[in-house]
């Protein structure tokens, strides 16, 4: 099937199969920041925005994304660099495999919540798993990025 | 999961027709569960053109469309202010925000998942479900008997002067509940619902009745909790044993009743 996606503000006509998921489509078309982790809607690695909302691209059928705006980390590089700087500052990046998904969720949270508390930050990030950092460094970095005490 | 064809019909009649054309034709919700299956789907039916993503307040009810997502429920001003906010509370702990932006109400109710948090909270509020073919039926009856090859359009919750509470126990945040409980009181009528037993949510009829006629003293609450644990069936799975669930049930029911009367 032929679909139209607005990926990072660029209109793209793509050929996809009916059972192809968005994470696959994006990776096949060069958006390699989109990671496939669990592929069971649990880990958050494949987080992208669909019409500005964070979603798990491993569970969105590409045909269902037809006509929608998709944002990957390649489309928000300046903001992503700012978040990454705070994570690196806390030694929280480690293997880095989960970072693109985490950063997309942090940027979505910044738009979604005003002055979040530490508890709200943890709750918002519940769907982003990391198997090496132990979360505390990430949390410190994200709190600093958001200016939260 | 394999899909041969994909359609996005313009009306429910067409969606229903396609669904029933072939045994393996399947309605798509947010695909969070479908993607885990090894189903071979002939035609996948996308409902997104049918205007079913809404949460609306009418004079006497709140209507939730089948494509409303868990996140829509979580951030809905209407649902935060009505029914003591139990519906947002029941979904806000499920996986993460990216997941909740996908998982839909229609799929959850229609599939009658035993582990469901939302179904437990909903059932305490006396709702009806509207199916395209079978029409409007009480959710309690629907959870018992289910439906075959139908499409859930919406859930209708009557507005009532009601206080409610939702409780759960999980091994860890983001995991499925070991048990969940919803309790609601409208005037003198109580409803106690227990889900993730691990069987599907069910009203503890006898306990609800005994609480409705009581003076709500400590011993009445303890009796209602004990009756709930005795009258419902519990089972064992990888998350917990039957006995543990039964013991947890008493505690959660007591806590929920206390919260409603506090
Ligand atoms: C990792 C993970 C953790 C989870 N944790 C929890 C948890 O803690 N608590 C909890 O309650 N749930 C949990 N869930 C389950 C979650 O609630 C389901 O994934 C969700 O209910 C499915 O919603 P969906 O819209 O993605 O459905 P889909 O996967 O799209 O569909 C599921 C089924 O519903 C059918 N369907 C969809 N819409 C309709 C309709 N309108 N009418 C008729 N049939 C329809 C489909 O044909 C399919 O058979 C979890 C799921 C996952 C994957």
Rounded to 5°, angle at Cα A122 from B65 and A52 = 45
- Bigger pLDDT: A131 or B63? B63
Q: Please check whether residue B205 lies inside any domain of the structure.
A: yes
Q: Which residue has the higher pLDDT, A134 or B76?
A: B76
Rg (CA), chain B: 19
User: What is the tens place of the pLDDT at every residue in B34-70?
Assistant: 999 999 999 999 999 999 999 999 999 999 999 999 9
User: Chain A window 89-148: which residues touch B at a Cβ cutoff of 8 Å?
Assistant: 105, 108-109, 112, 123-128
- Contact predicate B162/B259, CB 8 Å: no
pTM: 0.97
How far, in Å, are B17, B110, B122, B147, B221 from residue B13 at the CA level? Answer: 6, 18, 27, 17, 48
Domain total for chain B?
A: 3
Using the predicted structure, report yes or no on whether residue A133 has a pLDDT greater than 90.
no
The ipTM estimated for the assembled molecules is 0.97
The pLDDT value recorded for residue B100 is 98
Mutate which of B41, B107, B146 for ligand 1 pocket (most atoms within 8 A of beta carbon): B107
Within 8 A by CB and 6+ apart from A109, the residues are A116, A121, A124, A125, A146, B97
Whether residue B188 sits in one domain with residue B169? yes
* Binary contact (B46, A63; C-beta < 8 A): yes
The mean pLDDT value for B250-256 works out to 98
Q: Which domain holds residue B211?
A: 163-261
In a mutational test of the B interface, the residue from A59, A65, A68, A119 whose CB has the highest number of chain B CBs within 10 Å is A59
- Cα dihedral A133→A139→A144→A146 (10° resolution): 130
Q: What token pair was written down for B211?
A: 């609480």
DSSP B176: P
B153 and B118 fall within a common domain: yes
Claim to verify: residue B153 and residue B179 sit in the same structural domain: no
Average model confidence (pLDDT) across chain A = 95
> How many angstroms separate the alpha carbon of residue A7 from the centre of ligand 1?
27
**C-alpha distance from residue B183 to each of A137, B57, B165, B228, B233 (Å):** 39, 22, 5, 11, 18
Identify whether residues B152 and B184 lie together within a single domain. Answer: no
pLDDT digits 0-9 by tens, B106-160: 999 999 999 999 999 999 999 999 999 999 999 999 999 999 999 999 999 999 9
* Domain-located, residue B153: yes
Find out whether A136 and A143 touch, Cβ atoms under 8 Å. Answer: no
**CATH code that applies to domain A76-146:** 1.10.150.120
| Domain co-membership, B118 together with B31 | no
What are A38-56's pLDDT values in tens digits?
988 999 999 999 999 999 9
Give the mean pLDDT of B9-19.
98
User: In this complex, do A58 and B98 lie within 8 Å of one another by their Cβ atoms?
Assistant: no
CA distance B160 to A149: 41
DSSP code per residue over B204-256: -HHHHHHHHTS---HHHHHHHHHHHHHHS----BTTB-HHHHHHHHHHHHHHH
Query: Which residue from A minimizes the CA distance to B98?
Result: A55
Q: What is the largest CA-CA distance in chain A?
A: 49
Q: What is the pLDDT of residue A21?
A: 97
**Cis amide linkage into residue B143, ω under 30° from 0:** no
Residues B152 and B188 in one domain: no
Kindly report the CATH number assigned to the domain that includes residue B103: 3.30.465.10
User: What is residue A134's predicted lDDT score, i.e. its pLDDT?
Assistant: 85
* B182/A52 Cα distance (integer angstroms): 33
Mean pLDDT of B161-172: 96
If you search the block for the tokens 């009796």, which residue do you land on?
A: B223
A108 pLDDT above the threshold of 80:
yes
Answer yes or no: do B151 and B65 share one domain: yes
Q: What is the mean pLDDT of chain B?
A: 97
Residues B154 and B167 in one domain: no
> A with B: how many residue pairs have Cβ under 8 Å apart?
84
Q: At what angle do helices A77-89 and A136-146 cross, to 10 degrees?
A: 130
Question: Which ranges in chain A are annotated with CATH 3.10.20.30?
Answer: 2-74
Q: Which atom of ligand 1 is nearest to the CA of B119?
A: 11
Give one DSSP letter per residue of A87-149, joined into a string: HHHTT--TT-TTHHHHHHHHHHHHHH-SS--HHHHHHHTTT---SSSTTHHHHHHHHHHHT--
Q: Is residue B14 one of the residues assigned to a domain?
A: yes
Residues B118 and B154 in one domain: yes
The predicted model gives B84-96 an average pLDDT of 97
Structural tokens at position A132: 């090496």
Q: Take residue B229 and report the two structure tokens written for it.
A: 């644990």
Superfamily of domain A2-74: Beta-grasp domain (3.10.20.30)
Q: Check if B37 contacts A (Cβ < 8 Å).
A: no
- Does B106 reside within a domain? yes
Q: Is B40 helix (H, G, I), strand (E, B) or coil?
A: strand
- Enter the tokens of residue B68: 């409303």
DSSP A41-92: S-S-TTEEEETTEEEETTSSBGGGGTT-EEE-GGGSHHHHHHHHHHHHHTT-
- Distance CA(A128)–CA(A105), nearest Å, equals 8
Same domain, B172 and B255: yes
The strand pairing partners of A73, in sequence order, are: none
Q: Are residues B108 and B190 in the same domain?
A: no
* Residue B192 resides in a domain: yes
**B50 occurs within a structural domain:** no
């Amino acid at each position: 099937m032929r679909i139209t996606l607005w990926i990072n503000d660029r209109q793209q006509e793509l050929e996809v199969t009916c059972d192809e998921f968005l994470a696959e489509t994006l990776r096949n078309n060069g958006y390699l920041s989109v990671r496939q982790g669990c592929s069971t809607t649990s880990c958050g690695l494949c987080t992208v925005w669909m019409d500005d909302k964070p979603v798990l691209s491993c569970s969105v059928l590409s045909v269902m994304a037809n006509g929608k705006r998709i944002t990957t980390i390649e489309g928000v590089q300046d903001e992503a660099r700012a978040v990454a700087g705070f994570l690196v500052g806390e030694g929280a990046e480690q293997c880095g495999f989960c970072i693109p998904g985490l950063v997309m969720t942090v940027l979505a949270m910044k738009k979604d919540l005003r002055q979040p508390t530490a508890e709200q930050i943890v709750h918002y990030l519940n769907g982003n798993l990391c198997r090496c950092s132990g979360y505390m460094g990430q949390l410190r970095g994200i709190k600093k990025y958001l200016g939260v005490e | 999961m394999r899909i041969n064809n994909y359609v996005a019909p313009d009306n429910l009649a067409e969606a229903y027709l396609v669904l029933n054309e072939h045994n393996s034709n399947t309605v798509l919700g947010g695909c969070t569960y479908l993607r885990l299956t090894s189903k071979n789907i002939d035609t996948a039916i996308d409902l997104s053109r049918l205007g079913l993503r809404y949460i609306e307040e009418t004079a006497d009810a709140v209507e939730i469309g089948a494509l409303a997502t868990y996140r829509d429920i979580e951030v809905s001003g209407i649902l935060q202010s009505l029914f003591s906010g139990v519906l947002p509370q029941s979904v806000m702990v499920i996986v993460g925000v990216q997941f909740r932006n996908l998982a839909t109400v229609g799929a959850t109710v229609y599939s009658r998942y035993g582990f469901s948090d939302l179904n437990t909270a909903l059932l305490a509020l006396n709702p009806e479900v509207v199916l395209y073919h079978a029409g409007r039926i009480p959710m309690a009856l629907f959870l018992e008997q289910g439906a075959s090859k139908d499409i859930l359009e919406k859930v209708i919750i009557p507005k009532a002067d009601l206080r409610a509470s939702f409780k759960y126990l999980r091994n860890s945040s983001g995991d499925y509940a070991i048990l969940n409980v919803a309790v609601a009181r409208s005037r003198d009528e109580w409803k106690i619902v227990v889900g993730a037993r691990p069987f599907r949510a069910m009203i503890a009829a006898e306990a609800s009745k005994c609480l409705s006629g009581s003076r709500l003293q400590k011993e009445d609450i303890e009796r209602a909790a004990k009756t709930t644990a005795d009258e419902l069936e519990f089972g064992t799975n990888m998350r917990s044993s039957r006995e543990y669930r039964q013991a947890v049930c008493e505690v959660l029911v007591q806590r929920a009743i206390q919260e409603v009367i506090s």
